[in-house]
Structure 1
Amino acid sequence: MTRILKYLLKILLFFLLFLSTGCQPDLEFLPTPIPQEPPVEPTQASLLSLTQVTITHQVPSPTFPLKSPTALIETPTPPTSNPANNFSAILESPIPADFPQNVDASYLYGTTQNGLRIPHDGVEFYQPFGTPVLAAADGKVIFSGTDEINAWGRFTNFYGNLVIVQHSNLGNAPFYSLYGHLSSLAVKNGDTVRQGDLVGAIGASGGAFGSHLHFEVRLGGNELKHTANPLLFLQLLTDKNGQETGILLGNIRDNKGALVPSANLVLQKVVEGRIILEESLYQETYSKDIPSHPEWQENFVFANLTPGEYRISTFINQVLYEQFISLQTGQFINIQLKAED
């Protein structure tokens, strides 16, 4: 019993000692209280000083030379009310009027999609499989069939099912239109067709990538070396406001006068002195083995342009050349950009 009492007494003494030392806060290590100032309502001036931040940005000087070349601008007087007649624009669209009429802008005549594809000998109309294909002008069918055996293009089975129509001569030059990648043929050799007659239907035969019509024009002969840009012969379209469009063509030449192949061009709309970047059009000049029109000697064509002001620019020998152009309703303009010595 005595032993138990001694044990309880020790516990009590230990507890009292703990209360007298360990439970008291050590004031030496408490943080010093910081006096708080009453909040101040911000004034209008103080708010402005926070929101008015001046940011400066220095535009670096261009690292390339910029020159405005001497541009030859030709605007011949049209023989009729439609200036496009100067371009022998005698062909109607081979696509029915209730379908979109624009050609594929990514793979125009003479271009290569920046070297990704072979030079293009025509233009393409992307429409659904089976869309009717119409004769672009009066003429005689000189071929209707497949090119599996005889190559009408760069190699056999290139166009697949195709139709070739010979039209009236342009001057003394034989004139042809070709319709390729057809899914079906509606004419046979020797048939006479009128403008707008059915000649076949859109397909993906031959070397086609997807359903479309390959439309080609040949001037001076029925060989590949006689192709010409179809946009020089197709009637101009109207814009979304029903206004007749215009056409800009020309050539890019080096300082020796030679055509510059596969040069990148940019055509931009200008409104009240401001370039509209959203309406930029990009194109290559023709590949070196692509024929130009014998009269115009062009190596680029921008067709169906809305009337207005434009800026065209390109690099020649790492020098940027530009020209500002005013295009009127139904007008065509032929320009030349030539590198300086």
Structure 2
Amino acid sequence: MASKQAQNPQGFDKPFGSVGIWLTLLLSAWLLTGCQRAPEMMATASPEGKAEPFVTATRSNSRGEAPTPLAEITLPTEQPQNEQVPPTAAPDPLTFVFPEAAPPAVSAWRPPLYPVPWAPTPHDHFYFSRPIAADEINWPDPNYRYGGVFFEDVVHTGIDIPAELGTPVLAVADGKVEWAGYGLYRGIQGDTSDPYGLAVLIRHNFSFQGQQLYTVYGHLQQVDVRHGEQVTLGQQVGQVGQTGKVTGPHLHFEVRVGNGDYFSTLNPELWLVPPTGWGVAAARIMDTPGALYADERVRFISMETGQVWLVQPYSGAEAHSDPYYHENMVISDLPAGMYEVRMEYGTEIFNHFIQIYPGRVTYFTFQGRHGFKDDLPPNPAADFSPPPAPHP
């Protein structure tokens, strides 16, 4: 017995005693901790639909219970460990980031106008600004030019400028209001059946070759001036509408010389100042014997861009020619440059090349099988005046 107690003085039957038991427990706990699973990687969808990874750390237990979440940490998207991420270049201090361009204003589609009055030669008379401002479309509708025939063989004695309802209509020069309201065509104030609808007539403060000048603004939605009122260049006289005999909203604009009535008009495209760097073409289109010819349209083709314009010669007796050019066809707002002019006559096609000059009128003639010529017309008679108005 004595030797047995000496070998085990504490009285334990196990070889390690209490110290061995505690060492065994500590070793087991350390092994269990090292065998835990790595944190789980999960993903959720962000509001934008992109996967955003996050980490959920869990504590294992031996009771089979659900793990208890410890923390939720949002992490940026990671690259695979075996893929090298290239370095990010430093921002270039000379690189500028511009906002997305907005749709260009209409005024960006054409240059600003020449100053008025603009008369580069003794025969030109670009005396008037545009009745629609530069930030709106203000060039003539190609299908409703001066001298066309519409509405039961009625000759178009002005130009039509398409615009939205309510677009401001501006006086093209200083003058005095001679008419404001319905009834301009027949001269009956308040006649709502009048084809001009609501209209304004302005008598201007200057003349041409001794003849008084007038301008007309028709089919208005609203009139903003009174009879007898003095107006200035650029003053609003009304708003674009669709009163009278129309197919849609637009401004009907006329230039009248002399008497100021329906029978005293000239082509406004020879009177409205062109955009800077753009010009005008005027022509006298005739058949082979020399009579005015309007059976075919004239085609203009830009040699630079390939754009095509079609122009109908004057078709009615109420359309009058300029006293110098004696034209029966005009097209304005042509960018300066070289153009091919093409004309069908009978079974033949004739072509010609012209140069459009900035702020100038380019003139030519066509005479049937004789083709094209660039000769300028002779000087006009000094006593020119429009035909007198017929008396009722």
Name the TM-score class by shorter chain.
0.5 to 0.7
Maintained 8 Å contact 1:144/1:187: yes
Q: Which residue of 2 is the match for residue 71 of structure 1?
A: none
Shift in Å at residue 135 of structure 1? 0.6
Equivalent residues, number: 249
Q: Which residue of 2 is the match for residue 147 of structure 1?
A: 183
The 3 A distance-change label for structure 1 pair 236 and 250 is same
Q: Distance in 2 between matches of 1:315 and 1:322?
A: 9
Identity %: 30
Maintained 8 Å contact 2:217/2:254: yes
The 3 A distance-change label for structure 1 pair 99 and 148 is closer
Shift in Å at residue 116 of structure 1? 8.6
Maintained 8 Å contact 2:141/2:162: yes
1:125 to 126, 144, 161: 161
Q: Distance in 2 between matches of 1:213 and 1:128?
A: 9
Of structures 1 and 2, the larger Rg is shown by 2
2:364 to 315, 335, 338: 335
1:314 to 343, 348, 352: 343
Q: Distance in 2 between matches of 1:128 and 1:84?
A: 36
Q: Which residue of 1 is the match for residue 387 of structure 2?
A: none
1:246 to 276, 279, 287: 279
Cα deviation digits, residues 254-305 of structure 1 (max 9, x gap): 222221134311111124xxxx65x111111001322111221111112111
The 5 A counterparts of 1:2-81 are none
Higher relative contact order (CA 8 A, sep 6+): 1
Q: Distance in 1 between matches of 2:257 and 2:194?
A: 23
The 3 A distance-change label for structure 1 pair 262 and 227 is farther
Q: Distance in 2 between matches of 1:91 and 1:189?
A: 21
2:173 to 126, 132, 137: 137
Shift in Å at residue 82 of structure 1? 6.2
The 3 A distance-change label for structure 1 pair 141 and 85 is farther
The 3 A distance-change label for structure 1 pair 221 and 339 is same
Instruction: Give 1:311's aligned amino acid.
Output: E
Q: Distance in 1 between matches of 2:259 and 2:345?
A: 33
The 3 A distance-change label for structure 1 pair 198 and 187 is same
TM-score, with length taken from structure 1: 0.67
Query: 1:110 aligned to 2:147?
Result: yes
Q: Distance in 2 between matches of 1:81 and 1:208?
A: 32
Instruction: Give 2:186's aligned amino acid.
Output: N
Shift in Å at residue 232 of structure 1? 0.4
Q: Distance in 2 between matches of 1:116 and 1:263?
A: 20
Q: Distance in 2 between matches of 1:287 and 1:151?
A: 25
Cα deviation digits, residues 163-186 of structure 1 (max 9, x gap): 000112111112110000011111
2:132 to 95, 118, 121: 95
Please give the root-mean-square deviation of Cα atoms over the aligned residues, in Å: 2.6
Q: Name stretches of at least 5 consecutive residues in structure 2 with no aligned partner.
A: 1-116, 371-392
1:281 to 309, 317, 325: 309
SS at match of 1:231: helix
SS at match of 1:336: strand
The 3 A distance-change label for structure 1 pair 207 and 137 is same
Query: 1:178 aligned to 2:211?
Result: no
Q: Which residue of 1 is the match for residue 296 of structure 2?
A: 263
The 3 A distance-change label for structure 1 pair 255 and 148 is closer
Maintained 8 Å contact 2:194/2:244: yes
Shift in Å at residue 132 of structure 1? 0.9
The 3 A distance-change label for structure 1 pair 125 and 251 is same
The 3 A distance-change label for structure 1 pair 149 and 266 is closer
Q: Which residue of 1 is the match for residue 39 of structure 2?
A: none
Q: Name stretches of at least 5 consecutive residues in structure 1 with no aligned partner.
A: 1-79, 239-243
The 3 A distance-change label for structure 1 pair 255 and 332 is same
Instruction: Give 2:279's aligned amino acid.
Output: G
The 3 A distance-change label for structure 1 pair 157 and 177 is same
Maintained 8 Å contact 2:200/2:217: yes
The 3 A distance-change label for structure 1 pair 200 and 264 is same
Maintained 8 Å contact 1:150/1:156: no
Cα deviation digits, residues 108-161 of structure 1 (max 9, x gap): 111247x99743211112111111111111111111110189358xx9510110
Q: Distance in 1 between matches of 2:346 and 2:159?
A: 29
TM-score, with length taken from structure 2: 0.59
SS at match of 2:303: strand
Q: Distance in 1 between matches of 2:135 and 2:247?
A: 24
Q: Distance in 1 between matches of 2:203 and 2:118?
A: 27
1:187 to 221, 225, 228: 225
Maintained 8 Å contact 2:275/2:359: no
Q: Distance in 1 between matches of 2:193 and 2:294?
A: 27
Query: 1:226 aligned to 2:260?
Result: no
Cα deviation digits, residues 186-207 of structure 1 (max 9, x gap): 1111111111111111111111
1:157 to 166, 170, 194: 194
Shift in Å at residue 94 of structure 1? 0.7
